Amino acid sequence: MGELAFKGEVIDWKNSVLLFDKRKGVTSYKAIEEAGRLLGTRKIGHSGTLDRAASGLLVICTGSATRLTQYFLGSDKRYTATIRLGTVTDTDDGEGAVIETRDAAHIDERMIGEALKVFLGSIKQRAPLYSALKIRGKRASDRARMGQEVPLKERDIRIDSIDILSMDGERKSVVLDVRCSKGTYIRSLARDLGEKLGTGAFLEDLRRTESGRFRVEDAASIEDLQEIVGSGTEAPACRIGPFDALESFGFIAVSADARRKVLNGAAFDRSEAVEIRGGAGTIYCIGDDGKNLFAIADMDIDNWTIRYLNVFNEPLH
């Protein structure tokens, strides 16, 4: 089931970048395992975990394309978060035990907006006690469940914007649109907002809507994938070609002779470059006509030096 035809084109699911819409209630590991079985591949990974209680965008890579995950890991993220005021849980989300309740009847949208201002920009943030962060080789959540002390240091993160989308005055819940850096815990933002307001708070619902340039609107749920794989009637928007996925990189198209050198990890001459397009930095995708990716390299174009980062013996397309 690894390859299917769409409008005359063969889609290689075993070497793909796939936008996947994870449902709430399953771990990221379980979600991609289900996707892998459906697509007929065991080699599968993702570039940024979502909590079990969260839903939304996972950027999945399969087969040889799993080597691309490193280029997506540092991407900025965007979330829609529902925060419930007046209640504190031990996990900072709705899955944990309630450890305290406080009065939040006096809180209005203006007060929330003012409180949120302190979280904008480059700030320090402490991860939730129950998190996947490793403490001396073991997850913080595992240590917490064993009753061990979990020393969590504050980490540098960045929050670019927080917009209030709506507020339910009766439930004392607020829905936020958050744009932030990799490594930002929205559960921590909910906890810290509650402390700032003096009411306590927890993250009631979370959905990742963007990761880098990728959007959840283009992603496929597990049900969508079942339909796409079963029907084979149209090219899916959820499957991203390698050059589109790495569009911020430069591009070099090479001749047939240079291709053999590239696939052997050898340098090629500038004269063998058919086309050169600059990107945002020194990283270049090396391929033929933009359809097949042979390698990714760190290059000094002026002095023509090549340091290969990845070479794909089986070109990605």
The secondary structure element, H or E, covering residue 271 is none
Of 199, 222, 308, which is closest to residue 263 (Cα–Cα)? Answer: 308
Q: What angle do CA 178, 183, 186 make, to 5 degrees?
A: 40
List the alpha helices (DSSP H) in 97-217.
109-116, 140-145, 186-197
Given 12, 51, 192, 288, the catalytic residue: 51
Radius of gyration of the chain (CA): 23
Of 87, 84, 96, which is closest to residue 141 (Cα–Cα)? Answer: 96
- Whole-angstrom distance, CA of residue 286 vs CA of residue 304: 14
Judge whether 257 and 267 are in contact, CB under 8 Å.
no
- Whole-angstrom distance, CA of residue 128 vs CA of residue 236: 37
Residue position matching structure tokens 């129950």:
130
Tokens of 124: 């320090």
Q: Max alpha carbon distance in the chain (Å)?
A: 73
List the alpha helices (DSSP H) in 183-250.
186-197, 222-231, 242-245
- Please say if 163 is a catalytic residue: no
Judge whether 307 and 297 are in contact, CB under 8 Å.
yes
Of 202, 210, 192, 137, which is closest to residue 172 (Cα–Cα)? Answer: 202
Of 255, 247, 307, 257, which is closest to residue 277 (Cα–Cα)? Answer: 247
Residue position matching structure tokens 């061990």:
148
Residue type (1 letter), 267? A
Residues serving a catalytic function are: 51
